Chain A
Amino acid sequence: MDEREGALGRAIDALRALPDVRSEATARLLIAVAAERQREREAATGRMRRRSRGPAWIAVASAAAVVLGISQIPAVRAVESSAQIGKTALPAHSVPAVPVSSAADLTNSPRSVQLVLSAPGARTVRVVGDFNGWNDRQSPMVRDDASGLWNVRLMLRPGRHVYAFVVNDTQWVRDPRAAAAPDADFGRPGSVLLVGRP
């Protein structure tokens, strides 16, 4: 029997219609591919293995400052707060936690990193990045009602990460205080996060 006849034929015709392609999906894909290429370049040049013992904490703190999205970040105090691994709460009207890690952890293991964005009017904020495959469902941020700050804690491996915030499910936002990722050329903003190694 010919599959192209009758109800089955009409069903096949319907199934062959190409779906609409969402621009945000292709943008995520392009950014993810660009991030993949960047990782390959870094691996090839050995940048990921470069050690800089002294500025390691500074690198972490800088990354924190980059992603905090608030002004006057006391980086030194933030670094000192790293002793409170996993215990740092987000008090209202105060500086939230920053990327933290144990000084005793000298391995390549993931570090606890807290990303914070000031977006008091947002309904939802999520983090997308190379670390979660640019999946906007994996890293939702939690809003602190008193301060209007959104935060999320992630476990990230040392190295360079590219990320962005997705506000209200549709608006991609580069962190205003972070270095812009070159991947932003692909139509969506992106920021750079450096997680250092002690």
Chain B
Amino acid sequence: MYYARCLRFALHMLSDRDDAEEAVQDTFIRVHRALPKYEEREAFEPWLFRILANRCRTAGGRARRHADVVEYGEVPERPADHAEDDAFAWREAIRAALVSLPRDQREAFLMRHVEDLTYEDMSVATGARVSALKMRVKRACDALRALLSEEKHGG
């Protein structure tokens, strides 16, 4: 289902569920409006993610009201009650590492390794060249690997 995928991407980009849901809703409305202009020979996913990434950039440019909370799958709703939980600490480490990346690196990393877009599709979605996207992904992976290898969790 595209909604869940879009929400996953938006959550990782925005670190706030309300903002992410709003971005996804805006995306679907814009997709609906733009469908008459959509050409079937154009791949749908990069087209969808182009709109979604734009909405996330717009949302990310606004005030970051809840930058300290993000949800990954089964994250407890009250993480403070599970401060000793290794799984939560691991997710929190991932979140912190992801947030520390420059936005364009985070976006490229998520599109490539979480959403499984090809570099060609990513180029359509972002407007960046393939070579630039590969560099962003590499830098993101290097940074995440360095940050997360310091963690003791997740084994």
Contacts and interface: CB of A to CB of B under 8 A. Distances in A.
B141 to A, nearest CB: 5
How large, as a class, is the contact surface on chain A? Answer: 20 to 34
Nearest to A26: B3
B73 A19 contact: yes
B135 to A, nearest CB: 15
Given A8-B144, A33-B29, A36-B33, A15 B12 contact: yes
A20 interface: yes
A8 B94 CA distance: 9
Contacts of B47: none
Interface of B is mostly: helix
B103 interface: no
Interface in A156-194: none
Contact of A14 (B3, B91, B155): B91
A28 B3 CA distance: 13
Nearest to A21: B4
B18 to A, nearest CB: 7
A10 B7 CA distance: 21
A11 interface: yes
Contacts of B5: 18
Interface of B: 1, 3-5, 7-8, 11-12, 17-18, 21-22, 24-26, 28-29, 32-33, 71-74, 90-91, 94, 97-98, 110, 113-114, 141, 144-145, 148-149, 151, 154-155
Interface of A: 1, 3, 6-8, 10-12, 14-22, 25-26, 28-29, 32-33, 36-37, 133-135, 137
| Top-8 shortest CB links A-B | A17-B73, A7-B148, A25-B21, A18-B4, A8-B145, A11-B94, A10-B154, A15-B114
29 contacts: A3-B141, A6-B149, A7-B149, A7-B151, A7-B154, A8-B145, A10-B155, A11-B154, A14-B72, A14-B91, A14-B94, A15-B8, A16-B114, A17-B8, A17-B73, A18-B4, A18-B5, A18-B7, A18-B8, A19-B17, A19-B72, A20-B71, A22-B21, A26-B3, A28-B21, A29-B3, A32-B29, A33-B32, A36-B32
